[in-house]
Structure 1
Amino acid sequence: MTVTLSPAEWTPLADAHRVRVDALVADHLDRRKRREAHPVEDFLFTYYPTRPNQLRVWHPGPGVRLLDAGEYDGRRGYTYRDGAAALDPEEIARRRNSVAWIRLLLAATADRQPQFGCFGLHEWAMVYRTSDVRHEKWPLRLGAEGTDSVVESHKIACSHFDAFRFFTAPARGLNVLQPTRELQPALEQGGCLHANMDLYKWASKLMPFVPSALVLDCFELARDIRTLDMRASPYDLAALGYSPVPIETPAGKAEYAAAQRSFAARARPLRLRLVDLCDELLG
């Protein structure tokens, strides 16, 4: 069933979306003008490929026609016929294999029992026994030797390939799993911070097919998770206002696991909504 929206119906939705995006990206854009890097908040704009101007474009999702929507005429992923814009079925068909792979990964992750015992040690494994750290402007909270000691005294159990691939060479052999891209659907699980942050990646990769409100819900989840990810990292970010979650202590582990469970609960309905969207596109 297709819904047709008049300009009076869809224009306020598009305007409200742009207001929401502008509030989410304002600090990043201000820092970019000053050429000022931020080790926590820039992640969503540097690691993930979607740019703020791409986020500002409102997409209604499948089954919606927009009357008098000339701004969508010629936009990739849309057709414009008889004065109305709608998703292009040929573009959906062209990207069918990508949609199917995303659906496979998301559904497999949703079906797997979440795990809450990793304690964010992936960030520690990325600086293990190396002086080449990613955020070199920020000191290690426990120093290099203290950081290495934390890694060596814990079981490293990272299931996420895109975190594992940034481990230092000495740390890779310490991980109880050896994730690969091919194994991603078999290993990813809903307790993983990075798997839940990546809901934003998959939602943005599905643009323009996915409703923009869902993309931004995933963005906000990823932003909040990133904050915990770096608070639990070995970096000392107190000067930026981030209090540490000291995962090397029992209290820090408990705090981390509780936050991890909360994020898993937030992520699950978003993941299932994306699975349903993929089913609609593939159907």
Structure 2
Amino acid sequence: MTAATVEPVEVLDEPQWRARAAAHRARVERWTLPHRERRRRREPHPVMDFLFTYYSYRPQRLEQWHPGPDVLLRGGDEYLDRPGYVRDGDGVRLDPGALPPRLAGTAGFVGALLTATASRQPRLSCFGMHEWAMVYRTDAPRHWYVPLRLGRESTDAVVESLPLHCTHHDAYRFFTDAARPRNAVAPRREDQIALEQPGCLHANMDLYKWAYKLAPVTPAELIADCFELAVAVRELDMRASPYDLTAWGYDPVPVETPAGRAQYVREQAEFVRRAAPLRARLLALVERVWPAARPATAVAGR
């Protein structure tokens, strides 16, 4: 599978694209600058660190602006030093065909995964118990510097009182050894396309990962949109966790109670709604730039 040659449909003069680049950088610096300052102070953050450690896109790359594959930049010669950019008449544009072939393989997987995920009904009954399963019966919780809201014994009792049904491999792999047998499924990496569903908080956070995995083809604004969603989802993820995050300014969603579970489902359903158009935009990008991916995604989505 190779990338198509995508002809520019928008021409930007230098002041226009520089203004877009500056606006993008200012938007994401609300997250990247505090992260850099915390790193300088060696100060961990139980919510935000995840977005810069689990996800491998460095802050400086998140701050970079890319126009996407259908834009011609007049006065954009500085982009010729970046992979995939070529001269076109009086400007510079991204040519996906000039990028490493491995990106096409990534696009095929992303297209298959997102198509399959979008084809399923959201499952809204996990109540965020994956974070509880990561601390079940262990003396070494991942966020060792954050206290548990209910204490050790009561936290374990909550895990034992509610069903575990996590379908996301990258959450399940952090379950404690004692928690894994309690999960309804044992998702493996190779099960991802078969199991991913749009109600999963981690599947919706991962839209950010799939957006940056396709960079520089993904327009920077779409990467930022996915990152912004990931930030909001991560906040719910940890507010519903067993950790006490009040010192960081987060009120808990007490999923150990019926009211807390109802609140979690409402917020989870809102993220399903917000994620759907981002998933659709990523799929449209894959199908436009890598049209040969379309048959593979259709098969995988059944």
Shorter-chain TM range is over 0.9
3-state DSSP class of the match of 2:92? strand
Q: Is the 8 A contact 1:92 1:281 kept in 2?
A: no
- Given residue 138 of structure 2, which amino acid in structure 1 is its aligned partner? T
In structure 2, the partner of 1:192 is 200
Give unmatched runs, 5+ long, in structure 1.
none
Q: Which amino acid aligns with 1:34?
A: R
By relative contact order (CA 8 Å, sep 6+), the higher-ranking structure is 2
Per-residue CA deviation, residues 131-180 of structure 1 (Å, 9 max, x unaligned), is 11111011111111111111111110001111001111111111101111
Residue 176 (str. 1) matches residue 184 (str. 2) = yes
> TM-score, normalising length from structure 1?
0.96
Paired residues for 1:160-175 under 5 Å: 160-175=168-183
2: CA distance, partners of 1:116 / 1:48: 24
**Offset, 1:32:** 1.6
Write the mapping of 1:59-208 to structure 2, written as runs, cut at 5 A.
59-80=66-87, 82=89, 84-88=91-95, 89-91=97-99, 93-208=101-216
Give the letter for the 1:219 counterpart.
F
Identity of aligned residues (%): 54
- Deviating beyond 3 angstroms after TM superposition, the runs of 4 or more aligned structure 1 residues are 80-83
Q: Aligned equivalents of 1:8 and 1:14: distance in 2?
A: 10
**Quick one: distance in 2 between partners of 1:96 and 1:18?**
27
Gapped regions of structure 2 (runs ≥ 5): 1-6, 292-302
CA distance in 2, matches of 1:247, 1:234: 9
Residue aligned with 1:4, SS: strand
Q: Counterparts of 1:244 and 1:16 in 2: how far apart (Å)?
A: 33
Structure 1, residues 189-214: CA drift from partner, whole Å, max 9, x if none?
Answer: 00011000011111111110011111
TM value normalised by structure 2 = 0.90
1:9 to 16, 19, 22: 16
Whether the 8 Å CA contact 2:83–2:98 is kept in 1: the answer is: no
CA-CA distance at 1:31 after TM superposition: 1.2
The Cα RMSD (Å) is 1.3
Aligned residues: 283
Query: Quick one: distance in 1 between partners of 2:145 and 2:241?
Result: 14
The Cα offsets for residues 70-128 of structure 1, whole Å up to 9 and x where unpaired, read as 22112123224555322231316442111010110011101110000000000000111
CA deviations 1:234-279 (Å, max 9, x no partner) are 1111111211111010000000000000011000110011011110
Given the alignment, which residue of 23, 35, 43 partners 1:36? 43
The alignment partner of 1:60 has SS state of coil
* Distance (Å, rounded) in 1 between the aligned partners of 2:189 and 2:221: 29
